[in-house]
Amino acid sequence: MDRFGRARAAADAFLAKIGTKPLVMGILNVTPDSFSDGGKFVLPESALAQARAMAQAGADVIDLGAESTRPGFTPISEEEEWARLEPVLAPLLEETALPLSIDTTKAAVARRAAVLGAAVVNDVSGLRGDPAMAELVAESGAAVVVMHHREKIDSTIDIVADMIAFFENSLARAQKAGVERRKILLDPGVGFGKTLAQNLGALAATGLLREKFALPVLIGVSRKSFLGALTGAPAEGRLAATLSANLAAFSRGADVFRVHDVAEHVAALKVWSEIDRA
């Protein structure tokens, strides 16, 4: 029996929806220290209730993360990460038809999730963190989000050129490992090692990235600090700014939007799409 059969089927179903409409990925952090919602969904019952609420609100996929990636985060072990994930992932896979994504940089965690049936591996290291990640993605048949990630901010660099070089390297790693190109999504990595100007430039380059690599683009800007720098709003007050940034990216060809506020994005993207179609 193919132990990754469920993950492969779910990945194919998710990928088939890309391009048919803008897809909304609901964020579910089962962490005590994420920058916006840390601690809210640590208990499995709370996390499951939030997942059900996002599904009801129209989410197309739910992204589960058990290790914070905020600036200055404290790394955790594979076992601790899985201990947070499994009590939520296992029952969710049994009760929902929505594809589930795992936000992790650890191949061993991604493997466990794919065995259960997770459809997507969301790797903020861009396949550069764990040397076994690309091979695991290829073996499992899961879809993978490859994110541009700089360890340190350098205001002197051309961020678009840096992203292109980064993605070329990551895609070469994926190809060498046997990852199907059709299963890859790119994420500009807004908020990861970039100045305010570079974050804006990364978003503005959405169309360029899509055209150059002929791959779907996922945008993750929800409630991030660069929006606070622009508006002065705290994390919980950045919905309007998040909607604006995501609609700007959608107008440039972005395909998937990773957000905390699912219902608002489903509505905004639907209205934009209908106006554009008219």
Q: Which two tokens stand for residue 271?
A: 């209205």
Instruction: Report d(CA 242, CA 26) in Å as an integer.
Output: 14
For residue 75, what pLDDT is reported? 79
Among 59-68, 79-88, 92-101, 132-141, the range of highest mean pLDDT: 132-141
Residue 1 has pLDDT above 60, yes or no: no
Instruction: Report d(CA 214, CA 181) in Å as an integer.
Output: 10
Rg (CA), the chain: 17
Q: Are strands 100-103 and 61-65 parallel, antiparallel or unpaired?
A: parallel
For residue 68, what pLDDT is reported? 73
Band the pLDDT of 73: cuts 50, 70, 90.
Answer: low
Contact 168, 145 (CB under 8 A): no
Band the pLDDT of 39: cuts 50, 70, 90.
Answer: low
Mean pLDDT, range 176-197, rounded to an integer = 97
Which of 84, 194, 223, 258 is the catalytic position?
A: 258
Which of 112, 183, 224, 238 is the catalytic position?
A: 224
For residue 93, what pLDDT is reported? 92
In this structure, the dihedral spanned by the alpha carbons of residues 129, 132, 134 and 137, taken in order and rounded to 10 degrees, is: -120
Mean pLDDT, range 179-201, rounded to an integer = 97
Instruction: Report d(CA 3, CA 215) in Å as an integer.
Output: 27
Residue 36 has pLDDT above 60, yes or no: no
Mean pLDDT, range 43-55, rounded to an integer = 89
Identify the CATH number of the domain in which residue 181 sits: 3.20.20.20
Stretch (H or E) spanning 101: strand 100-103
Percent of the chain past pLDDT 70, that is, above it, reads 94
**Annotated catalytic residue 194:** no
Residue 28 has pLDDT above 50, yes or no: yes
Band the pLDDT of 35: cuts 50, 70, 90.
Answer: very low
Mean pLDDT, range 50-67, rounded to an integer = 94
| pTM (2 d.p.) | 0.93
For residue 31, what pLDDT is reported? 79
**Annotated catalytic residue 106:** no
Q: Name the average pLDDT for the chain.
A: 93
Mean pLDDT, range 91-97, rounded to an integer = 90
Long-range contacts, stretch 264-273, CB < 8 angstroms, 24+ apart: 264/239, 265/24, 266/24, 266/57, 266/58, 266/59, 268/243, 269/21, 269/22, 269/24, 272/22, 272/247, 273/21, 273/22
Among 29-38, 103-112, 120-129, the least confident range: 29-38
Number of domains comprising the chain: 1
Mean pLDDT, range 245-271, rounded to an integer = 97
For residue 44, what pLDDT is reported? 81
Residues spanned by the domain of 188: 5-277
Instruction: Report d(CA 87, CA 90) in Å as an integer.
Output: 6
